[in-house]
Amino acid sequence: MATAKLRRAAKKVYIYAHYSWTTSGAAVTTQSAGTDRPAGSRIRIVDVAGASGFSPSVVSRVLSGKGEVTPATRRRILAAAEELGYERNVENRGRPRTNGHLVDLTLAYFDSAWAAEVIAGAWDVARPLGLDLLLTTERDRPDADWVQRAQARGASGAIVGSIRPTAKELRYLARAGIPVVLLDPRSDGPGVVPSVGTSDRQGGFDAGVHLAERGAEHFIGVVGTPRYRFGRERMAGFAEGVTTLIPGATIDVLSVAWSPRGAAMKALVPILKTVTGPVGIFAVNDAMAKDAYTAAALTGLSIPGDVRVIGFDDEPTSRLLSPPLTTVQYPLREAAQEAVKLISAALRGRTVPAGRIELPSRLIVRGST
């Protein structure tokens, strides 16, 4: 809804809000000026109702997180509330907004080895800290409403894996006093909240150096599309590592879909049919590295005789391949544990620095190289 329309509907009240992120939420200061409302007066549910065009009862259900409404209705009401600077706790008469120990763990998928490691790591630390984990699934899409659902459930903190909250969602979390930590975000974070990941570029560099030292003469990098932050960093590090030892080396970079499985295999087969000499393949995750095994078999090449392969993540199944896969270990459990510790520190009122925290990756050498 246009800003001008919202302000007219709210009796010409103009709200200017400034947010400063702290570990316990946001410090919100408002200054009000208008012709029909005294300066410093509070925005109420009836004001949001007038601005959004819905009844106070519907607005109340949305702002309190109780009752079901359509996503479009929820977005419209929340947009009006944010525009006007509505503060939910003002009308709660001091009732606590959270139970103090429930942490929302939001991931795009739970049916993967990556998610299993995150859950295991988070739970290892959450339990002794007296925190409960609530698993929530949400895709990275414009109409996502996980933030509102987290508040409705009484979450005291949120850990978000892979997907990245929008600036509007972060403002909503801050206003609700819910600290958030990003786990391995797909794009660079906004810089106002902590994020935890691994040293992607260094991991790729170590892979490139290793393949060059193992006698590879032709190099292939396999990266997913869209090129998320971690994929770009891993591939950039790989190219740097190769050219550090072999200036002017030929590196073919293949961009393939993250899914379905087999996309990397289809892209690799035509190249492997034409190259000569030992080939070094670096894939930005273990799933794509496994596709390289299939591509080598289909073209009659052996691993590691003709093709040397390195993956990234060190999934449990990587050591079960024949030969076992050389890979860059992502300390995922430790990253999830660090995210929980940051949430716990924030809930205890401690200062948690914004920005990215990187845990070191480690090259695990096995039979594929």
* CB atoms inside a 10 Å sphere around CB 74: 20
Compute the distance between CA of residue 369 and CA of residue 216 in angstroms, rounded to an integer: 10
Q: Cα 285 from chain centroid?
A: 16
pLDDT given at position 16: 26
pLDDT given at position 193: 86
List residues bridging with 357 in a β-sheet.
196
Sequence-separated (6 or more) residues with CB below 8 Å from residue 214: 278, 280, 304, 308, 369
Compute the distance between CA of residue 133 and CA of residue 128 in angstroms, rounded to an integer: 12
Compute the distance between CA of residue 200 and CA of residue 274 in angstroms, rounded to an integer: 30
pLDDT given at position 314: 95
pLDDT given at position 283: 98
Structure tokens at 225: 């599309």
pLDDT given at position 23: 33
C-beta of residue 46 within 8 angstroms of C-beta of residue 55: no
DSSP 38: -
Domains (ranges, CATH) in the chain? 3-92 (1.10.260.40), 102-198+333-359 (3.40.50.2300), 200-331 (3.40.50.2300)
Sequence-separated (6 or more) residues with CB below 8 Å from residue 4: none
Compute the distance between CA of residue 265 and CA of residue 282 in angstroms, rounded to an integer: 13
pLDDT given at position 67: 60
Among 242, 248, 241, 221, smallest CA distance to 232 is for 221
pLDDT given at position 88: 58
Compute the distance between CA of residue 63 and CA of residue 12 in angstroms, rounded to an integer: 22
C-beta of residue 51 within 8 angstroms of C-beta of residue 84: yes
Residue 17, CA distances (Å) to 14, 40, 192, 206 in order = 10, 12, 17, 47
pLDDT in 10s for each residue of the chain, 369 residues: 444 444 444 333 322 222 233 333 333 333 333 335 555 567 888 888 888 888 888 888 777 666 667 777 877 887 788 788 776 554 444 334 445 689 999 888 888 888 899 999 999 999 999 999 988 887 656 556 777 777 777 788 999 987 777 777 888 788 778 899 999 888 775 667 899 999 999 999 999 999 999 999 999 999 998 888 999 999 999 999 999 999 999 899 999 998 767 899 999 999 999 988 899 999 999 999 999 999 999 999 999 999 999 999 999 999 999 999 999 999 999 999 999 999 999 998 888 888 889 999 999 999 999
The alpha helices in the chain, defined as continuous H runs, are 3-9, 45-52, 56-64, 71-84, 113-126, 146-152, 167-175, 200-213, 229-245, 263-272, 286-298, 332-347
Provide the whole-model pTM. Answer: 0.73
